[in-house]
Amino acid sequence: MKTCHKMGIQTVAVHSDVDSSAVHVKMADEAVCVGPAPTSKSYLNMDAIMDAIRVTGAQAVHPGYGFLSENKEFAKRLAAEGVAFIGPDTHAIMAMGDKIESKLIAKAANVNTIPGYDGVVKTAEEAVKIAQDIGYPVMIKASAGGGGKGMRIAWNAEETREGFRFSSQEAASSFGDDRLLIEKFIDNPRHIEIQVLADKHGNALWLNERECSIQRRNQKVVEEAPSTFLDPVTRRAMGEQAVQLAKAVQYSSAGTVEFLVDSKKNFYFLEMNTRLQVEHPITECITGLDLVEQMIRVAKGYQLQHKQDDIPINGWAIESRVYAEDPYKSFGLPSIGRLSKYQEPLNLSNVRVDSGIQEGSDISIYYDPMISKLVTYGATRAEALARMEDALDNYVIRGVTHNIPLLREIITHPRFISGDISTNFLPEVYPDGFKGHQLDVGTRRELLASAAALYITAQLRSQKVLGDLRVSSSPVECSHWELCVQLEDGSHSVEVTKSGNVYTVEVDGGKVEVSGQWNLASPLLPLTINGTHRTLQCLSRDASGRILLQYLGTSFKVRVLSKLAAEFNSYMPEKVPEDTSSILRSPMPGTVVAVSVKPGDPVAEGQEICVIEAMKMQNSLTAVKQAKVKSVHCKPGETVGEGDLLVELE
C-alpha cells in the first residue's frame, strides 16, 4: 500500500472482522470486511473477496504473501471478471504451484533437480515403500504447499508413516489440497533462493540471491543478501537456471526460485514461489528496486525498465523475522496476546520495519504469528550485523512473548558471523534447545551492576515528592549502599557508590562503572557500562525488588535486596514446583485436533496423547513416562490456551 500511495494509486483493503482495526485497513482508502476470523471464512473466501471487488470497482488485486497468492482458481476468477491479478498468469501458477509438475518442468528446462518420486503419494504404506526405494532420509512435503507447512523429514519407516499423516493434514488445512510427494533429503544443505522478475514481453532478470538457511521447522528465521557462500560463477549459474525456468512457464511478475546448495556448491531446484516473498526487502536494499512497483508495472503490461547488467549488489542487507513466539520451546511455539507496548527502532539509521500491527493490536490463534520483518542495511556485512544488533536491542514489544532473544543470539554467534551456516544451524548450535544468552564472568558482572544501579535509582526517585517546594527535613542523600542481588545462579554481595549519574559497583571481585540518563519512564535504558554502550530494557519491577531486565536480548529475572532484607529473606519457605511428569499442559495456544487416549488407557513413554494445531501447524504432544491415563480435560475442536491442563497421568 505504501508503494501504491507513492504511485498515486488508490487502494482497497479486505479484512476479517477481528482485523477491522489492522494497520493495512487504516492505510487503505477503502476497506471491506469479508467474513469472520477463521481464514476459510474470510481471507480464503473467494466469493466474499470477489463481491468486495465488484462493490468497490477495484481494477487489480495484489494477493500479498499467503492465502490466495498462489491459488490458480482465484487468478482464473479474476481474469473472468476482467480484473488484473498482480502476479503471474494462471498457467504459471498451475505449473509452479504443483511441486510434482514443477519438478518435471524444471528437469525439461535443464534445471538441476533433487532425486525423488515424480508422482503423488496416496497412502502411508506407499510412502514407506517409496522412501525405502529412494533411501533415507527423505523429505515428505505437500504438493501444493509452501512456507514450511506440510513438510516432514523422515529417517525411518515409522517416521515416514507419521510424517505422511501430519503432512497430509497440514496440507489439507493450509492449502485445501492433501497431495504429497517424496524426495531425497539433502542433509546439511544451505537454502539459497534467486529473485526473478519477468514481464509479458519475454524479458526476464535474476536479481541476485538471498541466503535463507537459518530456519526452524522448515520456516525461515534470518535471511541475508547476498550470500557469504556464493562466488560470482555459482551466482550466475543459479541466476541463469532460475531465468530458464521462468521463461519455460512464460512467467511474468516477481517470483522466487528456491535451491538447496551442498558444501561443494552443487545446487538443486527446490520449488518456485509464484508470489512476492516475505524476505523481498533485502533484495530491494541491495538492488535499489521496489519489487511491488515492478509487479504493478508488469501487471499493467509495461516492459521491464532494466537489463541484467543493470542489476547491482550494493552493500549488504539482513532480515530478522520477529515472531510472537516463545523461542525457548522448540525454537518458537506461538504466543498470543495484546501488544500493550510497541515501539519500532526506526530512530536508528538504515533500519526498515515492515509490520502490519501497532500498539494495541491483538496477536490471535487464527493467523501467522509474525509481528514484523526487521531489516538493516550497511555498506558491509559487519555494518549490517552491528545495526541489526542495535535494532533488536531497541525494539520494544510488550504483551506477547517474542523471539528477539533467539534472533540476537543467532546474529552474534561466531558461526553465523563467519558464514558457517546450514539449515541445521539451530539444532547444531543449540542441541538441547535454546536457553537464552549464557552469561560469562564479565557479562554477569555487567548485569548485576546494572540491576543494582537501577534499583538505587528507583529508590532515590521514590524518596522525592514532585512539586514539593518545602524545605526537606530528610537527611542528605545517601551515596553508598550494600546490597544483595539474586540471580538464578545464586546471591551476590554488591557495594554501590554514586557520583552524579555514575554508579560504581563492586561485585564478584571486580569494579563496574554504570552511567546513563536513568529515565525510568522510558521503556529503553541506554547505559554506558565500563565504556561500552548498551541498551537494556526494564520489562518490570516491583516493590519487593524483583526486576525483569532485558540484557543482550535475553530477559533475566533478578532480585535486589538490602543486606538486612536479604538476611530475613533466607527464612522464607520456598514454593514446591509442580510435578510435570504426571500432567500434560498445552505448550501453546491453539485448537485440539485429536485426542488419542481416554481414562484408564496405558501409555508408553513417547506415545502420542493429543495433537494441537496453532497457526496452521500441527504439533504432536507425547507422554514423558510410562503411565496410566487418569483423566482427559480436552476434546477435539476445543480451543486451549498456553498452560491449560489437557491430560492427567497416574
pLDDT, one tens digit per residue, over 31-75 is: 999 999 988 899 999 999 999 999 999 999 999 988 899 999 999
CA distance to 352, 460, 645, per residue, from 504 (Å): 37, 16, 48
pLDDT, one tens digit per residue, over 65-117 is: 888 999 999 999 999 999 999 999 999 999 998 878 898 999 999 999 988 88
pLDDT, one tens digit per residue, over 286-315 is: 999 999 999 999 999 999 999 999 999 999
In what order do the strands lie in the sheet containing 617-622?
A: 617-622, 608-614, 590-595, 639-640
pLDDT at 471 over 80: no
pLDDT, one tens digit per residue, over 545-599 is: 999 999 999 999 999 999 999 999 888 888 888 788 899 999 888 899 999 999 9
* Amino acid, res. 462: S
| Cα separation, 451 vs 491, whole angstroms | 13
In words, the CATH class of domain 1-89 is alpha beta
CATH of 316-433, one of 3.30.365.10, 3.30.70.240, 3.30.470.20, 3.40.50.300: 3.30.470.20
Give me the residue spans of the domains in the chain: 1-89, 90-114+190-314, 118-184, 316-433, 441-461+478-570, 583-649
| Cα separation, 616 vs 335, whole angstroms | 14
Helix (H) or strand (E) holding 141: strand 138-142
| Percent of the chain with pLDDT strictly greater than 70 | 97
Closest CA to 393 of 544, 244, 527: 527
CATH of 90-114+190-314, one of 3.40.50.1370, 1.10.287.3510, 3.30.470.20, 3.20.20.70: 3.30.470.20
Q: Name the band, by pLDDT with cuts 50, 70 and 90, for residue 147.
A: low
| Cα separation, 589 vs 567, whole angstroms | 41
CA distance to 79, 217, 230, 239, per residue, from 448 (Å): 64, 36, 43, 51
Residue 262 and residue 213 in contact, taking contact as beta carbons nearer than 8 Å = no
pLDDT, one tens digit per residue, over 204-224 is: 999 999 999 999 988 999 999
The pairing of beta strand 333-334 with beta strand 351-355? unpaired
| Cα separation, 520 vs 210, whole angstroms | 41
In 7-105, DSSP assigns E strands to 12-16, 30-35, 60-61, 84-85
Residue 245 CA to its chain's centroid (Å): 29
Question: 77, 179, 235, 275: which is the annotated catalytic residue?
Answer: 275
Q: Name the band, by pLDDT with cuts 50, 70 and 90, for residue 489.
A: confident
Comparing 602 with 177, the larger pLDDT belongs to 602
User: What is the pLDDT at residue 648?
Assistant: 94
User: What is the pLDDT at residue 146?
Assistant: 62
Residue 128 and residue 160 in contact, taking contact as beta carbons nearer than 8 Å = yes
pLDDT, one tens digit per residue, over 309-341 is: 999 999 999 999 999 999 999 898 888 899 999
| Cα separation, 386 vs 393, whole angstroms | 11
What secondary structure letter does DSSP report for 471? P
pLDDT, one tens digit per residue, over 267-286 is: 999 999 999 999 999 999 99
Closest CA to 612 of 587, 632, 633: 587
CA distance to 86, 442, 551, 553, per residue, from 393 (Å): 37, 19, 8, 6
Q: Name the band, by pLDDT with cuts 50, 70 and 90, for residue 475.
A: low
Q: Which residues pair with 612 in a beta bridge?
A: 592, 619
The rounded mean pLDDT for the chain is: 93
Residue 563 and residue 569 in contact, taking contact as beta carbons nearer than 8 Å = no
Residue 139 and residue 194 in contact, taking contact as beta carbons nearer than 8 Å = no
The mean-pLDDT minimum among 369-378, 465-474, 557-566 falls in 465-474
Residue pointed to by grid coordinates 504439533: 619
pLDDT at 173 over 80: no
Average pLDDT of the residues in 365-383: 94
Residue 238 and residue 106 in contact, taking contact as beta carbons nearer than 8 Å = no
pLDDT at 469 over 80: no
Q: Which residues pair with 620 in a beta bridge?
A: 611
| Cα separation, 230 vs 242, whole angstroms | 15
One fold for both 90-114+190-314 and 316-433?
yes
CA distance to 14, 123, 143, 163, per residue, from 168 (Å): 29, 10, 10, 8
pLDDT, one tens digit per residue, over 403-449 is: 999 999 999 999 999 999 999 999 999 999 999 999 999 999 999 99
Q: Name the band, by pLDDT with cuts 50, 70 and 90, for residue 148.
A: low
Cell numbers placing 273: 514461489
Which of left, alpha, beta for 327 (phi over 0: left; psi -120 to 50: alpha)?
alpha
Fold of 118-184: Dna Ligase; domain 1 (3.30.1490)
Neighbours of 597 (CB within 10 A): 19
Cell numbers placing 591: 485448537
Q: Name the band, by pLDDT with cuts 50, 70 and 90, for residue 179.
A: confident
pLDDT at 477 over 90: no
Query: Is residue 585 annotated as a catalytic residue, yes or no?
Result: no
- What pTM was estimated for this model as a whole? 0.84
Residue 62, classed as helix, strand or coil, is coil
Dihedral over Cα of 323, 326, 331, 333: its sign: negative
Average pLDDT of the residues in 129-143: 90
In words, the CATH class of domain 583-649 is mainly beta
Dihedral over Cα of 181, 186, 192, 195: its sign: negative
| Cα separation, 259 vs 251, whole angstroms | 18
| Cα separation, 453 vs 459, whole angstroms | 10
Average pLDDT of the residues in 169-188: 82
Give me the torsion for CA of 215, 218, 219, 220, rounded to 10°.
Answer: 30
Q: On the CB side of 174, how many CA atoms lie within 13 Å of its CA?
A: 29
CATH architecture of 441-461+478-570: 2-Layer Sandwich (3.30)
pLDDT, one tens digit per residue, over 2-30 is: 999 999 999 999 999 999 999 999 999 99
Q: Name the band, by pLDDT with cuts 50, 70 and 90, for residue 473.
A: low
